[in-house]
Amino acid sequence: MTSVGWVMADGWTLTRRALLHWARRPAQVVVGLLFPVLMVVMFGYLLGGGIQVPGGGGYREFLLPGMFAMSMVFGIEGTFSAVASDVAKGVTDRFRTLPMTPGAVVVGRAAADLLNSALGLLVMMGCGLLVGWRWHEGFGGVVAAVALLLWLRFAFLWLGVYLGVRLARPEAVVALQILVWPVGFLSNAFTSPSDMPGWLAFLAEANPLSATVTATRELFGNPGVVSGSRTAEHGLLLAVLWPLAITAVFLPLSVRRYQRLGD
């Protein structure tokens, strides 16, 4: 078997380990899946009535692509906690004594979390259909939008793996939340940057999350894509390039940091 084959085989073994943990703790999985649903209901019904959609249209159709993308970014917290917990308990050190390829642990964690995020996205889309969200551009657009959402999750997943291995303290997730939540809200997920002050709109437009939100709104055929901004004009391209850049930085850093644990 080639080296890539060994990484995939060993990574799948570690992915199964994570899936078995979730099967034994279904309540934790259910709560994780219901939290985004709660966010949809809260923002869609409690706050959405007072927000105008640029160019017209229903707010819930404007909101749901943003919520899909936010759930992909917020998944970094679960990745961080799982990785940091394994490092702190010495589980990762025991893995390093076994005859497995060096990158298998991080590859296994990435695959398991990506599967979990795909399931969560499916649940959120089902909830969106129940509250009135629809797509209008055909099934091909839906597939492309889902692919971009999971691509964003894949990129931030490696950031979570790197921070988990680097910090190795599960309680540090509180500090991570302080950093992640502003990234989620300082975007075009809930409102258009055109309604923000100039400096704030600039930061929202530069947010990688905004690119994915804009691209998925366009692919779903949902309202809120305002022409004239850099993100609106190049949303699809930026939705591919931003995650690619994040992955290119943090994937090798994650593997390298894992290999140097204990040095």
Tell me how far apart the alpha carbons of residues 5 and 164 are, in angstroms, rounded to a whole number.
26
Specify if 241 maps to a domain.
Answer: yes
Q: Is the pLDDT of residue 4 over 80?
A: no
Q: Is the pLDDT of residue 250 over 90?
A: yes
What are 173-202's pLDDT values in tens digits? 877 878 888 888 888 888 888 778 888 888
Specify if 77 maps to a domain.
Answer: yes
Specify if 114 maps to a domain.
Answer: yes
* Number of separate domains in the chain: 1
Specify if 251 maps to a domain.
Answer: yes
Structure tokens at 148: 């971009």
Contact 209, 152 (CB under 8 A): yes
Q: Is the pLDDT of residue 227 over 70?
A: no
C-alpha distance from residue 154 to each of 69, 72, 111, 133, 187 (Å): 12, 8, 9, 25, 19
What are 164-180's pLDDT values in tens digits? 888 878 778 877 878 88
What pLDDT score does 193 carry?
82
Range of the domain at 67: 3-45+55-259
Q: Is the pLDDT of residue 254 over 90?
A: no
Specify if 50 maps to a domain.
Answer: no
- Helices and strands counted in the chain (H then E): 12, 0
Specify if 16 maps to a domain.
Answer: yes
Specify if 28 maps to a domain.
Answer: yes
Report the alpha-carbon angle 42-125-21, nearest 5. 90
Specify if 178 maps to a domain.
Answer: yes
Q: Is the pLDDT of residue 64 over 80?
A: yes
What are 106-152's pLDDT values in tens digits? 788 888 889 989 988 998 899 888 888 899 888 999 999 999 999 99
The pTM of the full predicted model, rounded to 2 decimals, is: 0.89
